[in-house]
A and B are shown apart, each in its own frame.
Chain A
Amino acid sequence: MKKINVLGLITFFVLILVNLPFLVIVPSSFTAAGYLAFPPEGFSLQWYSMILERPEFIESLWTSLKLAAITAILATFLGTLAAFALSKYKFRGSGVINALMLSPLTVPSLIIGISALLFFTRIGIAGTFTGLLLAHILISIPYVVRLVLTGLSTFDYTLEKAGYMLGAHPLRVFWDITLPLLRPAIVSGMIFSFLTSFDNVTVSLFLVAPDTTTLPLAIFTYMQETLDPLVASISAVVILLSLVFIVLLEKVYGLERLFGLNSQSH
């Protein structure tokens, strides 16, 4: 019908490549063999039941989930408030504050991790959950601020005016009109914060104590010593968990829009 689309073929190849890790991990986790192999040999759930025998993975999973959830809530709250101030008011220094809010994105995680370790050691919260949480909130705030600011940039402030004219108090207007219309931006900020925290290794690396390690870090450490199908089964669990949130994010906001690729006008 038409000639072979070279660009389409390359795109397909690249898409396979970036998804290859998952295409390999999930089957490998069901192997019946005692060693890591792809394609897997036989079928068994033994490596999943093995997870239950490794309390450090279960515990670190809980730590990660708890950490990600609290990070998501607090970072969203703090970031949303700041975004409102930046969008609604024009004031001297708003440019500086805006740049500051986004700055953790521009500095390598490595430096954020090291500096947090040095500082937290001084004030005595190195290796605590609080320290870890604070650092995760820090690296999540820029995403929330950016997402909510984007949401606010298309928000029609005359809707608020219309609310006032109908007799609604500012708080009422915020609750009835502004907040519902910004919900997609805020919710996706929350999910994105969750994933940012849940995936993080480089910052956590410097801040965890042996008893508060996060799941990706536990896998990282384990992987450096042993490579067995256990890593595959745990990874499969994490992939599944992440997928839930990714689908959620796609439904609430759309990945295209999330990454600023929205070409259609609103």
Chain B
Amino acid sequence: MSKVIDVELRGIIKKFQNNVVVQDFNLQVEQGEFIAFLGPSGCGKTTTLNMIAGFLDPDGGDLLIKGQRMNGVPPYKRELGMVFQTYSLFPHMTVAENIAYGLKLRKVGKQEMQERVKRVLELVKLPNVADRYPKQLSGGQRQRIAIARALVIEPSLLLLDEPLSNLDAKLREELRDELKRLHQEIGVTTIFVTHDQEEALALSDRIVVLNHGFVEQIGTPLEIYNQPASEFVHTFIGKTNRMEGEVIAIDADGIKVRTTGGLLIQAAKQAREFSLQQKVIVFVRPEKIKLSDTGVHTGANQVEGHLQLASFLGSYTECEVVAGKHTLSVKVQMSDKSAEREAGTTVYCNWDAEDVLIMPAERG
């Protein structure tokens, strides 16, 4: 059986005056899928969400929801749910009135309305706040109510516009898990806009990485993390060590690169093809590097250096190691006793060939 497509973007284009803010956006969202639009501010993710919601009209391409073309259909006729960054609860209505508002517009009977409000409040685990006003709730509670208000009308699609950005770190994590649980429970197709790669990785079935209005990559969190389509995707998704260099050998095992800083780096076979003497950029993530005190090889690569700086950050320690002309960032787990090393000591950085990513220096 073929899968049901809930949302389809076909060559969507959006311009503001002469600036193209969304360029040729193509995407099919399956029923029940959780999709994240990830990118820095100004990348076009919110613009695209606003086009799906109906607040903006695309300048080109087609937008389909449940197989129906939606271009030009006003937001109030789209039957979607949306949660905003600023909660956007109506301050002059109680929690129950806020949630019931969408039901009232749909002329749901009074009894059913009360039941559905009650049920959705239980769903978001706030059964006792029905008669309070939004002002009397905490930020996290408000956002739960906003989610409840969006869900109660049983929307065909749930849009989340940076719903966690206004919360402090701890609450954000809590509510992130809550969103995941809700999605597993209800299975509503969800599009989630965020600039936070951790949120996107934790929640999504697939991530769309956007930059300057272009779709850089669409893929599962693992694909995005391990097989980035571009330098942008790789660097945006987490901290990394970046070294420029040149391919000096290619064989069955992989590729050898000499960096401009004089390091020899052994990489496993890459998805891309490279040629000898090609200028490339080498990436190694800080958490893939292990520190050791002796020169015994534990991986395909080993580099000697001085520990320049060590910042203890709780569950891990972030180290800076100066090796030749490069400064490598290394993430040392708490369990590793090397977390206690002092600055200035000689250390060895080890990492596997599989953990090296190579990209061509010039794109295209």
Chain A interface (Cβ < 8 Å from any Cβ of B): 156, 158-159, 161-170, 172-173, 176-177, 180-181
A230 to B105, CA, bound (A): 60
A176 to B77, CA, bound (A): 17
Within the complex, the shortest CB–CB distance from A176 to chain B, in Å, comes to 7
Most buried by A among B53, B86, B90: B90
Within the complex, the shortest CB–CB distance from A4 to chain B, in Å, comes to 41
Q: Which residues B36-81 have CB closer than 8 A to chain A? A: 53-55, 74-81
Query: With A165-B75, A167-B102, A169-B76 given, is the CB distance from A159 to B153 under 8 Å?
Result: no
Query: With A156-B86, A158-B86, A172-B105 given, is the CB distance from A164 to B74 under 8 Å?
Result: yes
* Cβ–Cβ < 8 Å partners of B74 in chain A: 164
A170 to B88, CA, bound (A): 17
Q: Is A165 a contact partner of B86 (Cβ separation < 8 A)?
A: no
Within the complex, the shortest CB–CB distance from A117 to chain B, in Å, comes to 45
Query: With A166-B105, A167-B106 given, is the CB distance from A161 to B86 under 8 Å?
Result: no
Chain A residue nearest in CB terms to B84: A158
Query: With A156-B86, A158-B86, A172-B105 given, is the CB distance from A165 to B92 under 8 Å?
Result: no
A163 to B105, CA, bound (A): 10
* Cβ–Cβ < 8 Å partners of B76 in chain A: 163-170, 173
Q: Is A167 a contact partner of B90 (Cβ separation < 8 A)?
A: no
Q: Is A167 a contact partner of B153 (Cβ separation < 8 A)?
A: yes
A170 to B159, CA, bound (A): 20
* Cβ–Cβ < 8 Å partners of A162 in chain B: 82, 84, 88-90, 146, 149
Within the complex, the shortest CB–CB distance from A167 to chain B, in Å, comes to 5
Chain B residue nearest in CB terms to A157: B88
Residue contacts A-B, CB under 8 angstroms, 19 given: A158-B84, A161-B82, A161-B84, A161-B88, A162-B84, A162-B146, A163-B76, A164-B75, A165-B75, A165-B81, A165-B82, A167-B76, A167-B77, A167-B79, A167-B105, A170-B76, A173-B76, A180-B92, A181-B92
A124 to B149, CA, bound (A): 59
B91 within 8 A of partner (CB): yes
Within the complex, the shortest CB–CB distance from A157 to chain B, in Å, comes to 10
A sample of 8 more A-B contacts (CB under 8 A), given A162-B89, A163-B90, is A156-B86, A161-B82, A161-B88, A164-B74, A164-B76, A165-B78, A165-B82, A166-B76
A165 to B83, CA, bound (A): 9
Within the complex, the shortest CB–CB distance from B165 to chain A, in Å, comes to 13
Q: Which residues B104-118 have CB closer than 8 A to chain A? A: 105-106
> Which of B55, B91, B149, B159 lies in contact with A166, CB distance below 8 A?
B149
Interface string of B122-151 (1 = CB under 8 A from A): 000000000000000000000000100110
Query: With A164-B76, A166-B149, A166-B153 given, is the CB distance from A159 to B102 under 8 Å?
Result: no
Q: Is B53 a contact partner of A165 (Cβ separation < 8 A)?
A: yes
Within the complex, the shortest CB–CB distance from A155 to chain B, in Å, comes to 11
Within the complex, the shortest CB–CB distance from A220 to chain B, in Å, comes to 44
B316 within 8 A of partner (CB): no
* Cβ–Cβ < 8 Å partners of A173 in chain B: 76
Chain A residue nearest in CB terms to B77: A167
Within the complex, the shortest CB–CB distance from A249 to chain B, in Å, comes to 21
Within the complex, the shortest CB–CB distance from A95 to chain B, in Å, comes to 19
Chain A residue nearest in CB terms to B75: A164
Q: Is A176 a contact partner of B101 (Cβ separation < 8 A)?
A: yes
> Which of A166, A169, A177, A181 lies in contact with B102, CB distance below 8 A?
A166
A200 to B78, CA, bound (A): 52
8 closest A-B pairs by CB: A166-B102, A164-B75, A165-B82, A162-B88, A158-B88, A164-B76, A167-B105, A180-B92
A159 to B101, CA, bound (A): 13
Chain B residue nearest in CB terms to A159: B88
Chain A residue nearest in CB terms to B86: A158
Q: Is B88 a contact partner of A156 (Cβ separation < 8 A)?
A: yes
Within the complex, the shortest CB–CB distance from B85 to chain A, in Å, comes to 8
Chain B residue nearest in CB terms to A172: B105
Most buried by B among A161, A162, A164, A177: A162
Chain A residue nearest in CB terms to B78: A165
* Cβ–Cβ < 8 Å partners of A168 in chain B: 76, 101, 105
Query: With A156-B86, A156-B88, A161-B75 given, is the CB distance from A166 to B53 under 8 Å?
Result: no
* Cβ–Cβ < 8 Å partners of A169 in chain B: 76
* Cβ–Cβ < 8 Å partners of A177 in chain B: 90
* Cβ–Cβ < 8 Å partners of A170 in chain B: 76
> Which of A156, A163, A165, A180 lies in contact with B80, CB distance below 8 A?
A165
A162 to B161, CA, bound (A): 12
Within the complex, the shortest CB–CB distance from A90 to chain B, in Å, comes to 12
A167 to B153, CA, bound (A): 9
A166 to B89, CA, bound (A): 12
Most buried by B among A161, A162, A163, A166: A166
Interface string of B15-54 (1 = CB under 8 A from A): 0000000000000000000000000000000000000011
Within the complex, the shortest CB–CB distance from A156 to chain B, in Å, comes to 7
Q: Is B90 a contact partner of A159 (Cβ separation < 8 A)?
A: yes
A168 to B92, CA, bound (A): 17
* Cβ–Cβ < 8 Å partners of B78 in chain A: 165
> Which of A163, A165, A180 lies in contact with B150, CB distance below 8 A?
A165
* Cβ–Cβ < 8 Å partners of A176 in chain B: 101
A172 to B53, CA, bound (A): 18
Within the complex, the shortest CB–CB distance from A182 to chain B, in Å, comes to 11
* Cβ–Cβ < 8 Å partners of A180 in chain B: 92
Most buried by A among B80, B86, B88: B88
Within the complex, the shortest CB–CB distance from A120 to chain B, in Å, comes to 43
* Cβ–Cβ < 8 Å partners of A165 in chain B: 53, 75-76, 78, 80-82, 150, 159
Within the complex, the shortest CB–CB distance from A63 to chain B, in Å, comes to 38
